[in-house]
């Protein structure tokens, strides 16, 4: 079951890079600017963020499995549409389709894991979940570079559509492992005491908890940094150090692979630690310092690529503890809704980041783009510690 959820998560992260990896191609084919390309990712993540917050309510009422199947179909459709685009409007449609497909994954995945994994194994399950997500990010550059060279970029998108359909078939055949039950709504003790009748707590009651919004803020800030690495690191490495497209793309894969290794180790840390917020704060602090070092340009081409990959490892260690931190802040019976809202902060960060840092890139502020991303990541440290202070569950 953990493997199936991990495969689905890898597929969603693979989908995050359907467009960014081909940005240099789109600039050449359609004459687009960095700001226009950044707006595509804003469309993707606005659709995903709004859809994710809504999907959480659907998961809590209907279960996780149906939405998972729909998401895979939407990603396949987005890949087919991408193979047919003739201009910017077509790319916007692709971004919207892929964003809608991406919307369901976190409320779906965490509902399945929280319901079906025993408490002692949950830290390891979160580790596997994060690790497979990073592997999805790592595979995407190699996939599109390989198929793009062999067949062309349009055919690479068709191959990706076939890949999504294959995953959908596998998940359908193994669907019994993905079943979740609908948890009854908790009773509002206040309402019962005042009126003498028992009624279920309102679906939106969890939104009154400050810790939920602190979690949202953490995801928004930390994800803005990740968006810079995914969307602009290739162009930054080429501009600052003359790195080839192939080498820069492999650096992104190395960042994600190192992140996956960090996630693996972080699973053991999360399973043993009683202070998830402190683990997250420490890992993000180290990542921010390393990213700032890359932004100075002092390291040269090889050094920058190596340190950027190590940054992925540092941030990855905090991944499972981050998910444990969110679990501690989640009321019983509201898993889908809380994870949907909190992880929409991830989509919001991905949506805002290209608008801000795309302007930096258009002005040639390549080093400042990395330094700015490091500052934002450092801000997320304070927010993570704020989450820890406000979590009611020890």
- The ranges assigned to domains in the chain are 2-178+206-390
Of how many residues is the chain composed? 394
Quote the pLDDT of residue 185.
Answer: 55
Beta bridge partners of 187: 200
What is the reported pTM? Answer: 0.71
Cβ-Cβ contacts under 8 Å for 262 (sequence gap 6 or more) = 283, 312, 313, 314, 315, 316, 317, 318, 319
Which two structure tokens, joined as six digits, stand for 308? 């950027």
Quote the pLDDT of residue 194.
Answer: 47
Closest CA to 159 of 176, 134, 179, 142: 142
Quote the pLDDT of residue 204.
Answer: 62
Quote the pLDDT of residue 214.
Answer: 82
pLDDT digits (tens, 9 = 90+) for 256-313: 889 888 888 888 888 787 788 888 889 999 999 999 999 998 998 899 999 999 999 9
Quote the pLDDT of residue 271.
Answer: 78
Cβ-Cβ contacts under 8 Å for 159 (sequence gap 6 or more) = 143, 147, 151
- Ranges of the chain with pLDDT below 50: 188-199, 392-394
Rounded Cα gap, residues 9 and 74, in angstroms = 15
Cβ-Cβ contacts under 8 Å for 203 (sequence gap 6 or more) = 57, 60, 185, 337
The CATH superfamily holding the domain 2-178+206-390 is: MFS general substrate transporter like domains (1.20.1250.20)
């Amino acid at each position: 079951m953990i493997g199936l959820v991990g495969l689905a998560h890898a597929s969603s992260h693979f989908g995050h890079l359907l467009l960014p990896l081909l940005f240099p191609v789109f600039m050449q084919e359609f004459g687009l600017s960095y700001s226009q390309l950044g707006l595509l990712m804003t469309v993707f993540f606005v659709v995903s963020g709004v859809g994710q917050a809504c999907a959480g309510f659907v998961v809590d009422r209907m279960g996780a499995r149906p939405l998972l199947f729909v998401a895979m179909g939407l990603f396949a459709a987005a890949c087919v549409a991408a193979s047919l685009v003739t201009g910017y409007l077509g790319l916007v449609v692709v971004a919207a389709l892929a964003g809608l497909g991406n919307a369901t994954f976190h409320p779906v995945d965490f509902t399945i894991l929280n319901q079906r994994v025993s408490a002692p194994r949950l830290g390891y399950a979160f580790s596997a979940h994060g690790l497979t997500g990073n592997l999805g990010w790592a595979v995407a550059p190699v996939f599109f570079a390989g198929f793009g060279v062999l067949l062309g970029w349009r055919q690479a998108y068709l191959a990706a559509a076939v890949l999504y359909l294959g995953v959908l078939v596998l998940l359908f055949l193994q669907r019994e492992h993905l079943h979740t039950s609908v948890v009854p709504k908790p009773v509002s003790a206040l309402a019962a005491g005042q009126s003498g009748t028992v009624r279920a707590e309102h679906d939106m009651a969890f939104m009154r908890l400050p810790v939920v919004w602190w979690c949202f803020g953490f995801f928004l800030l930390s994800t803005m940094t990740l968006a810079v690495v995914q969307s602009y690191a290739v162009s930054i490495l080429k501009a600052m150090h003359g790195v080839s497209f192939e080498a820069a793309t492999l650096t992104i894969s190395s960042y994600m692979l190192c992140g996956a290794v960090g996630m693996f180790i972080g699973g053991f840390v999360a399973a043993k630690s009683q202070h998830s917020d402190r683990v997250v704060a420490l890992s993000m602090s180290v990542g921010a310092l390393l990213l700032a070092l890359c932004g100075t340009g002092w390291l040269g081409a090889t050094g920058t690529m190596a340190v950027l990959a190590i940054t992925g490892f540092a941030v990855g260690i905090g991944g499972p503890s981050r998910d444990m931190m969110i679990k501690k802040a989640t009321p019983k019976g509201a898993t889908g809704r809380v994870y949907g809202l909190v992880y929409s902060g991830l989509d919001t960060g991905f949506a805002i980041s290209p608008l801000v840092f795309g302007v930096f890139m258009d002005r040639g502020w390549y080093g400042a783009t990395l330094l700015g991303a490091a500052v934002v990541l450092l801000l997320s440290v304070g927010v993570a510690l704020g989450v820890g202070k406000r979590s009611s569950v020890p």
